[in-house]
Chains A and B, each alone.
Chain A
Amino acid sequence: MKTESIKKNLTTRSKKAKIERFGKLVSFICILIIIAVVVAIFYFVSSKGLATFFQNKVNVIDFIFGKDWQPSSVDQSGKPLVGALPMIAGSFIVTVLSAIVATPFAVGTAIFMVEVSPKRGANLLQPVIELLVGIPSVVYGFIGLSVIVPWIRGIFGGTGFGILAGAIILFIMILPTVTSMTVDALKSVPRHYREASLALGATRWQTTYKVVLRVATPGILTAVIFGMSRAFGEALAIQMVIGNSAVMPTGLLTPAATLTSVLTMGIGNTISGTLQNNVLWSLALVLLFMSLFFNLIMRMIAKKGAMN
Chain B
Amino acid sequence: MKFVVAGLALVGLMAGCGKSSSSSSDSTNQASTKKQSITAVGSTALQPLVESAAEAFSNENSNYQIDVQGGGSGTGLSQVQTGAVDIGNSDVFAEEKSGIDSSKLVDHKVAVVGMAPVVNKEVGVTNITKENLIKVFTGKVTNWKEIGGKDQTIVVVNRATGSGTRATFEKWGLDGATPIKSQEQDSSGTVKKIVAQTPGAISYLAFSQTDDTLKMLSVDGVKPTNQNVATNKWVIWSYEHMYTKGNPTTKVKKFLDYVLSKEVQGGLVEKMGYLPVTDMKVERDSNGKVK
Which of A38, A264, A274 has most chain B Cβ within 10 Å? Answer: A274
Interface hits, B57-83 → A, CB 8 Å: 70-75, 77-78, 82
B160: CB under 8 A from chain A?
Answer: yes
Q: Which of B98, B155, B190 is the one whose CB lies under 8 Å from A274?
A: B98
Interface hits, A267-302 → B, CB 8 Å: 267-274, 276-277, 291
Q: Which of A37, A239, A243, A269 is the one whose CB lies under 8 Å from B161?
A: A269
User: Are A272 and B78 in contact, CB atoms less than 8 angstroms apart?
Assistant: yes
Inside 8 A of A240's CB, which chain B residues have their CB? Answer: 185, 190
User: Are B193 and A269 in contact, CB atoms less than 8 angstroms apart?
Assistant: no
A9: CB under 8 A from chain B?
Answer: no
Q: Please report the total number of B residues contacting A with Cβ < 8 Å.
A: 41
Inside 8 A of B194's CB, which chain A residues have their CB? Answer: 145, 161
Q: Which of A40, A153, A274 is the one whose CB lies under 8 Å from B99?
A: A274
Inside 8 A of A273's CB, which chain B residues have their CB? Answer: 78, 99
| CA of A267 to CA of B44, assembled, Å | 13
Inside 8 A of A246's CB, which chain B residues have their CB? Answer: 181, 184
User: Are B185 and A244 in contact, CB atoms less than 8 angstroms apart?
Assistant: yes
User: Are B160 and A266 in contact, CB atoms less than 8 angstroms apart?
Assistant: yes
B7: CB under 8 A from chain A?
Answer: yes
| CA of A265 to CA of B99, assembled, Å | 19
User: Are B2 and A40 in contact, CB atoms less than 8 angstroms apart?
Assistant: no
Q: Which of B2, B10, B77, B184 is the one whose CB lies under 8 Å from A265?
A: B184
Query: Given A245-B181, A268-B72, is A72 in contact with B7 using a C-beta cutoff of 8 Å?
Result: no
User: Are B183 and A159 in contact, CB atoms less than 8 angstroms apart?
Assistant: yes
Interface hits, B3-47 → A, CB 8 Å: 3-4, 6-8, 10-11, 44
| CA of A95 to CA of B181, assembled, Å | 23
Residue of A nearest to B44 (CB): A268
Query: Given A38-B7, A233-B2, is A159 in contact with B155 using a C-beta cutoff of 8 Å?
Result: yes
Query: Given A34-B4, A40-B7, A150-B197, is A269 in contact with B160 using a C-beta cutoff of 8 Å?
Result: yes
B97: CB under 8 A from chain A?
Answer: yes
Inside 8 A of A239's CB, which chain B residues have their CB? Answer: 186
B250: CB under 8 A from chain A?
Answer: no
| CA of A257 to CA of B100, assembled, Å | 28
Please give the distance in Å from B209's CB to the nearest CB on chain A. Answer: 17
User: Are B98 and A38 in contact, CB atoms less than 8 angstroms apart?
Assistant: no
Interface hits, A14-43 → B, CB 8 Å: 34, 37-38, 40-41
User: Are B182 and A245 in contact, CB atoms less than 8 angstroms apart?
Assistant: yes
A85: CB under 8 A from chain B?
Answer: no
Inside 8 A of A245's CB, which chain B residues have their CB? Answer: 181-184
User: Are B99 and A41 in contact, CB atoms less than 8 angstroms apart?
Assistant: no
B162: CB under 8 A from chain A?
Answer: yes
A160: CB under 8 A from chain B?
Answer: yes
User: Are B71 and A244 in contact, CB atoms less than 8 angstroms apart?
Assistant: no
| CA of A37 to CA of B162, assembled, Å | 31
Inside 8 A of A272's CB, which chain B residues have their CB? Answer: 78, 82, 99
Interface hits, B170-228 → A, CB 8 Å: 178, 181-186, 190, 193-194, 197-198, 201
- Contact string against B for A residues 244-260, beta-carbon threshold 8 Å, 1 for contact and 0 otherwise: 11110000000101000
| CA of A269 to CA of B194, assembled, Å | 22
User: Are A276 and B193 in contact, CB atoms less than 8 angstroms apart?
Assistant: no
B142: CB under 8 A from chain A?
Answer: no
Can you offer 20 A-B residue contacts whose CB atoms are under 8 A? A34-B4, A34-B7, A37-B7, A38-B3, A38-B7, A71-B161, A72-B161, A159-B201, A160-B198, A239-B186, A240-B190, A245-B184, A246-B184, A255-B182, A257-B184, A266-B160, A268-B73, A269-B162, A272-B78, A276-B162
| CA of A44 to CA of B11, assembled, Å | 12
Please give the distance in Å from B197's CB to the nearest CB on chain A. Answer: 6
Please give the distance in Å from A73's CB to the nearest CB on chain B. Answer: 8
